[in-house]
Amino acid sequence: MDNNLTKIYNRSLKGPLIFFVVIMLLPFIFQSNNYILSTFIMIGFYSLVTTGLTLLIGYAGQISLGHAAFYGIGAYTSAYFTATLQMPSWIGILVGAIIASLVSLIIGIPVFKLKGHYLALATLGFGVIIFTFFKEWKTITGGLNGFFGIPPLSLFGISFSTDFQFYFLIWIFVFLGIFFARNIVQSRVGRALMSIHGSEIASEAIGININKYKLQIFVLSAVYASIAGSLYAHYVTFINPQLFEMMTSIYFLIMVVIGGIGNIWGGLIGAAIYVFLGELLKDIVPKIIPNASGEFEIVFFGVLLVVILIYMPNGISKAIFHFIKRITSNFKNKPVSAFSKKSTGSDIHD
């Protein structure tokens, strides 16, 4: 059985391992450059959220425009438990994940009866309602003034207070997250999710409990977002509600879609492209148009977004992997499995 799975799925660890080693070596090169380290740390937070979202959007084909809420739930729970209640960090992370999964379960039951745009709008509405909680529940969240003085993360007696230390922590979380997601995708659950993406009615007809799977994957993606939020709160030590408003959810969706739907690395690639593009535009655009103020570089961001999606509607990761495949197949003539093309799942339209 395992032999068959290796034919269908790409289970090789070579690529991911090389990538892991490169990522783990990077901070030694840029040890003194906090700008680069903090940029990579931001990519790490986003990757964790978008990997969970990729399972939901890319594999199960369900849109969520409310994931900033779970990111915020993680952040505020960690902040409250460590700063206000003086508890250890891991309790904050754990309780955040539990609250996020309960909330996602409660909201998920009615929400996943909806489809397409209604689903997008309902999750967006949910995000706005949770944002209002962050804003108005001042005794716990500090309201619009924000939550100050979150202690740095300490796990197993190690305190992660510098960018250099935090870098390793977040990227280990990211790789564990991606590895876990990959195992889910390459299992019975993953195949069920792809069939839901293909056709809900057909999946139901062959005996897949579509509501159960949608709900499970929604809860899982909420937990990913909540853990990322907890780590983020410890990293920045100050949070306010604006960090978790509707636009953040939209940015998460952007990362997932430009990264590539139907590829487990899509979330990471999308997050990296989003962050690098943002930094690049912030750097270049003022040199071209020096007199303007405000964040008008979003013009270029918007144009790029539209162009990328018109020419690569399946996201950039697909183009990248296609490119890598072409290069490597020039060097060695590996026999290609008959299944490999069908198993990506991204050709399926909804």
Partner 1 sequence: MELTSQFIQLIFSGLTIGSIYALIAIGFVIIYNITGLLNLAQGDFAMLGALTCISFVNMGFPLIIAIAVSVVIVTIIGGLFERLAIYPARNSSTATLLIITIGAAFVFRGISILIWGTQPLALRPFSGNQNINFLDATIQPQSLWAIGISLLSLAVLYYFFNKTYLGKAVTACVVNRFAARLMGISPQKMSFWAVSISAGLGALAGIVIAPISGASYDMGIMIGLKAFIAAVIGGLSNAPAAIAGAFLIGILESFTEGYLSSGYKDAISFTLLLIVLFFMPNGLFSKVSGKRV
Binding piece for partner 1, criterion CB under 8 A, among 23-31, 43-51, 132-140, 171-179: 132-140
Position 280 contacts partner 1 (CB under 8 A): no
Under DSSP, the state recorded for 151 is: P
Tell which one of 124, 178, 217, 273 touches partner 1 (CB under 8 A). 124
CB 159 within 8 A of CB 90: no
Q: Can you tell me whether residue 221 is helix, strand or coil?
A: helix
Residues 6+ apart with CB under 8 A from 247: 68
Site string for partner 1, 257-276 (x = CB under 8 A): xx--x---------------
Nearer to partner 1, 149 or 302 (CB): 302
Place of tokens 């939209």: 250
- Nearest distance from C-beta of residue 159 to partner 1, angstroms: 37
Tell which one of 1, 12, 117, 156 touches partner 1 (CB under 8 A). 117
Which parts of 183-212 interact with partner 1 (CB under 8 A)? Answer: 201
Element (H, E) at 327: helix 316-331
- Nearest distance from C-beta of residue 247 to partner 1, angstroms: 8
Helices (H) and strands (E) in the chain, counts: 15, 2
| Residues 166, 172, 175, 180, CA torsion sign | negative
Size of the site for partner 1 (CB under 8 A): 50
Nearer to partner 1, 341 or 349 (CB): 349
Position 106 contacts partner 1 (CB under 8 A): no
Q: How far apart are CA 120 and CA 115, in angstroms?
A: 8
Place of tokens 């996943």: 112
Site string for partner 1, 26-65 (x = CB under 8 A): -------------------------------x-----x--
